[in-house]
């Protein structure tokens, strides 16, 4: 029996491994930053202060981190793990999830049978997988969680680029200029973003930008999936200007002034109703 996206979310919430995953993310964040306050960790992991304090206490008692006043610090001064500045996948997928699912469904409706598309890693783009069972396509994705879902639940031909696995974000990234993506051509590329506004499409990490720009070169059209909370939001870097965006799929909570700005740049804006619970 096929599992929908909501089934997967429900299973993930019920797994006893959730605490272990969260605690591993705390260690990863500390390895990257060396120090993090309780407040910083609650924001990054979308958890309560009490939960984070409990995790810090357990990890400290196990000798995996050092508990200090107001937060924690890494005991590993020379971390070999590679990190990128981006929200962890399992945390980000819980934010505005119902609205993002509606956006993903609308984006999937742009796909046609026999098409070749690129789907960039992210939670909104991951949700597209559930709505692609009625068409057969060639799909290039750097999301190994989406690739796993598609190969188990659909008959699409799925291609993954070469590179290193970033477990927290559920993606594969390559730091090399040449990889398998240069041999792929697509009619559309679907991409999420931490922010889009008058300044362009934003991203949080240079390695993510390099990957997204390489993928974008291989596609005729760029489709951005962004719920209204991302509109007008700034991040660290600009991936591309608004003139390079062809379609934006967002929700009815979007600022009318920004929608007007996007349309003035020639972007086709598709709006879904924002879910009340989001």
Higher pLDDT, residue 169 or 230: 230
- Domain boundary pick from 76, 111, 126: 76
Query: Same structural domain for residues 41 and 110?
Result: no
With a cut of 50, say whether residue 149 has pLDDT above it. Answer: yes
Query: Same structural domain for residues 153 and 211?
Result: yes
Q: Considering the domain boundaries, does residue 13 fall inside one?
A: yes
Q: Considering the domain boundaries, does residue 51 fall inside one?
A: yes
- Domain boundary pick from 76, 100, 121: 76
Average pLDDT, rounded, for the chain = 86
Query: Quick one: which H or E segment has residue 57?
Result: helix 49-61
% of the chain residues with pLDDT over 70 = 86
Q: Considering the domain boundaries, does residue 83 fall inside one?
A: no
With a cut of 70, say whether residue 185 has pLDDT above it. Answer: yes
CATH number at residue 21: 1.10.10.10
Residue 9 pLDDT grade (very low, low, confident, very high; cuts 50, 70, 90)? very low
Query: Same structural domain for residues 63 and 102?
Result: no
Reference 125, options 194, 205, 224, 233; nearest CA is 224
Query: Same structural domain for residues 39 and 141?
Result: no
Q: Considering the domain boundaries, does residue 278 fall inside one?
A: no
Query: Same structural domain for residues 254 and 140?
Result: yes
With a cut of 60, say whether residue 261 has pLDDT above it. Answer: yes
- pLDDT tens-digit readout, 43-100: 877 788 999 999 999 999 999 999 999 999 988 876 555 555 566 666 666 677 899 9
Residue 134 to residue 111: CA distance in whole angstroms: 10
Query: Same structural domain for residues 100 and 9?
Result: no
Residue 13 pLDDT grade (very low, low, confident, very high; cuts 50, 70, 90)? very low
Please state the rounded mean pLDDT for residues 144-169: 90
Query: Same structural domain for residues 25 and 53?
Result: yes
Query: Same structural domain for residues 139 and 221?
Result: yes
With a cut of 70, say whether residue 19 has pLDDT above it. Answer: yes
- Domain boundary pick from 17, 43, 76: 76
Number of domains in the chain: 2
Q: Considering the domain boundaries, does residue 277 fall inside one?
A: no
Query: Same structural domain for residues 231 and 139?
Result: yes
Query: Same structural domain for residues 97 and 180?
Result: yes
For residue 82, what pLDDT is reported?
A: 57
Reference 194, options 86, 121, 94, 69; nearest CA is 86
| Three-class DSSP labels, 172-241 | EECCCCCCHHHHCCEEEEEEECCCEECCEEEECCHHHHHHHHHHHHCEEEEEEECCHHHECCCCCEEEEC
Query: Same structural domain for residues 142 and 262?
Result: yes
Strands 138-141 and 157-159: parallel
Reference 71, options 131, 124, 30, 23; nearest CA is 30
Q: Considering the domain boundaries, does residue 163 fall inside one?
A: yes
For residue 206, what pLDDT is reported?
A: 82
For residue 46, what pLDDT is reported?
A: 75
Q: Considering the domain boundaries, does residue 134 fall inside one?
A: yes
189 close to 216: Cβ distance less than 8 angstroms: yes
Residue 210 pLDDT grade (very low, low, confident, very high; cuts 50, 70, 90)? confident
Q: Considering the domain boundaries, does residue 141 fall inside one?
A: yes
Which residue range(s) make up the domain with 107? 90-272
Please state the rounded mean pLDDT for residues 111-123: 95
Query: Same structural domain for residues 104 and 50?
Result: no
């Amino acid at each position: 029996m096929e599992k929908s996206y909501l089934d997967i979310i429900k299973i993930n919430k019920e797994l006893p491994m959730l605490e272990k995953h969260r605690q591993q993310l705390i260690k990863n964040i500390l390895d990257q930053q060396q120090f993090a306050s309780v407040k910083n960790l609650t924001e990054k992991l979308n958890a309560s202060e009490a939960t984070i304090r409990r995790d810090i206490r357990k990890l400290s008692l196990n000798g995996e981190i050092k508990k200090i006043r107001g937060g924690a610090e890494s005991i590993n001064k020379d971390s070999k793990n590679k990190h990128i500045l981006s929200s962890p996948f399992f945390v980000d997928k819980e934010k505005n999830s119902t609205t993002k699912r509606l956006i993903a469904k609308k984006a999937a409706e742009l796909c046609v049978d026999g098409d070749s598309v690129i789907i960039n890693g992210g939670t909104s783009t991951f949700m597209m997988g559930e709505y692609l069972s009625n068409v057969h396509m060639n799909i290039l994705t750097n999301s190994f969680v989406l690739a796993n879902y598609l190969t188990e639940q659909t008959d699409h031909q799925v291609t993954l680029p070469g590179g290193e696995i970033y477990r927290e974000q559920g993606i594969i990234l390559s730091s090399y200029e040449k990889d398998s993506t240069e041999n792929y051509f697509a009619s559309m590329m679907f991409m999420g973003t931490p922010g889009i506004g008058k300044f362009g499409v934003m991203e949080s990490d240079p390695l993510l930008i390099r990957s997204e720009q390489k993928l974008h070169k291989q596609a005729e059209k760029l489709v951005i999936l962004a719920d209204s909370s991302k509109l007008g939001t700034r991040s660290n870097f600009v991936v591309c200007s608004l003139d390079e965006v062809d379609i934006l799929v967002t929700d009815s909570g979007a600022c009318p002034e920004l929608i007007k700005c996007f349309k003035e740049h020639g972007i086709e804006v598709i709006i879904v109703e924002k879910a009340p619970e989001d």
